[in-house]
Amino acid sequence: MPAFRTLAEVQAALRSGALTMESLVASYLERIEATRHLNIYVEVFEQEALEQARRQDAAKPAGRLLGMVLAIKDVICYKDHEVTAGSNILRGFRSLFSATAVERLLAEGAIIIGRVNCDEFAMGSSNENSCYGPTRNAADPERVPGGSSGASAVAVQAGTCLAALGSDTGGSVRQPAAFCGVTGFKPSYGRISRHGLIAYGSSLDQIGTLAHSVEDTALLLEIMAGPDAYDSTASVEPVPAYSRLAPPDRPMRVAYFRTAIEHPHLDEGIRALTLRFADRIRQAGHTVEAIDFEYLDYIIPTYYVLATAEASSNLSRYDGVRFGHRSQAAHDLNSTYKRSRTEGFGAEVKRRIMLGTFVLSSGYYDAYYTKAQQVRRLIHDRTKEIFQQYDFILMPAAPTTAWRLGEKISDPVEMYLADVFTVQANLAGIPAIALPIGQHPEDGLPVGVQLMADAFQEEALLGFAHSLF
Ligand code: GLN
Question: Around Cβ 58, how many Cβ atoms within 10 Å?
Answer: 10
Question: Could you tell me if 449 and 434 are in contact, meaning their C-beta atoms sit under 8 angstroms apart?
Answer: yes
Helix intervals (H) in 66-144: 100-107
| Amino acid identity at 386 | I
**Helix, strand, or coil here: 94?**
strand
Residue 60 pLDDT grade (very low, low, confident, very high; cuts 50, 70, 90): confident
> Taking the mean position of all CA atoms in its chain, how far away is CA 181?
14
Pocket mutation for ligand 1, best pick of 172, 189, 350, 409 (most atoms within 8 Å of C-beta): 172
**Cα-to-centroid distance, 3 and ligand 1 (Å):** 30
Helix (H) or strand (E) holding 461: helix 458-467
Of 226, 159, 160, nearest in space to 187 by CA: 226
Average pLDDT over residues 22-35: 98
Of the listed ranges 33-47, 56-70, 121-135, the least confidently predicted one is 56-70
Question: Could you tell me if 466 and 245 are in contact, meaning their C-beta atoms sit under 8 angstroms apart?
Answer: yes
Of 90, 4, 112, 34, nearest in space to 317 by CA: 90
Helix intervals (H) in 21-99: 21-34, 46-59
Atom number in ligand 1 closest to CA 123: 4
pTM for this prediction: 0.98
**Phi, psi at 207, each rounded to 5°:** -75, 140
Taking the C-alpha atoms of residue 307 and residue 303, their distance in angstroms, rounded to an integer, is 6
Average pLDDT over residues 350-374: 96
Q: Give the pLDDT confidence of 176-226 residue by residue, as tens digits.
A: 999 999 999 999 999 999 999 999 999 999 999 999 999 999 999 999 999
Of 427, 414, 182, 174, nearest in space to 296 by CA: 427
Average pLDDT over residues 158-166: 98
Residue 203 appears among annotated catalytic residues: no
Residue 73 appears among annotated catalytic residues: yes
pLDDT (0 to 100) of residue 323: 83
Q: Give the pLDDT confidence of 243-274 residue by residue, as tens digits.
A: 999 999 999 999 999 999 999 999 999 999 99
The CA-based angle 439-399-370, given to 5 degrees, is 150
Helix intervals (H) in 90-199: 100-107, 150-157, 174-180
pLDDT (0 to 100) of residue 194: 98
Average pLDDT over residues 351-371: 96
Q: Give the pLDDT confidence of 320-341 residue by residue, as tens digits.
A: 998 889 999 999 999 999 999 9
**Mean of all residue pLDDT scores within the chain:** 97
**Cα-to-centroid distance, 175 and ligand 1 (Å):** 9
Pocket mutation for ligand 1, best pick of 204, 419, 450 (most atoms within 8 Å of C-beta): 419
The CA-based angle 78-309-403, given to 5 degrees, is 70
Beta pairing class for 69-73 and 183-186: unpaired
Question: Could you tell me if 412 and 348 are in contact, meaning their C-beta atoms sit under 8 angstroms apart?
Answer: yes
Average pLDDT over residues 335-354: 97
CA dihedral 124→234→322→349, nearest 10 degrees, is 10
Average pLDDT over residues 17-36: 98
Pocket mutation for ligand 1, best pick of 73, 75, 118, 169 (most atoms within 8 Å of C-beta): 169
Of the listed ranges 103-112, 160-169, 324-333, the least confidently predicted one is 324-333
Residue 172 appears among annotated catalytic residues: yes
Average pLDDT over residues 223-248: 98
Of 388, 416, 378, 217, nearest in space to 293 by CA: 378
pLDDT (0 to 100) of residue 23: 98
pLDDT value at 2 more than 70: no
* Correct CATH for 7-244 of 3.30.1490.20, 3.40.50.300, 1.10.760.10, 3.90.1300.10: 3.90.1300.10
Which residue ranges make up each domain of the chain? 7-244
pLDDT (0 to 100) of residue 218: 98
**Cα-to-centroid distance, 78 and ligand 1 (Å):** 22
Of 453, 458, 462, 395, nearest in space to 422 by CA: 395
Q: Give the pLDDT confidence of 266-310 residue by residue, as tens digits.
A: 999 999 999 999 999 999 999 999 999 999 999 999 999 999 999
Beta pairing class for 69-73 and 206-211: unpaired
Taking the C-alpha atoms of residue 190 and residue 227, their distance in angstroms, rounded to an integer, is 8
CA dihedral 133→134→135→138, nearest 10 degrees, is -130
Beta carbons within 8 Å of 29's beta carbon, 6+ residues apart: 44, 46, 49, 50, 113
**Cα-to-centroid distance, 416 and ligand 1 (Å):** 8
Taking the C-alpha atoms of residue 208 and residue 185, their distance in angstroms, rounded to an integer, is 5
pLDDT (0 to 100) of residue 61: 82
- Helix, strand, coil percentages (3-state) for the chain, rounded to 5, are 45, 15, 40
Residue 412 pLDDT grade (very low, low, confident, very high; cuts 50, 70, 90): confident
Asked if the peptide bond before residue 148 counts as cis, ω within 30 degrees of 0, the response is yes
CA dihedral 27→31→32→37, nearest 10 degrees, is 170
Taking the C-alpha atoms of residue 116 and residue 263, their distance in angstroms, rounded to an integer, is 33
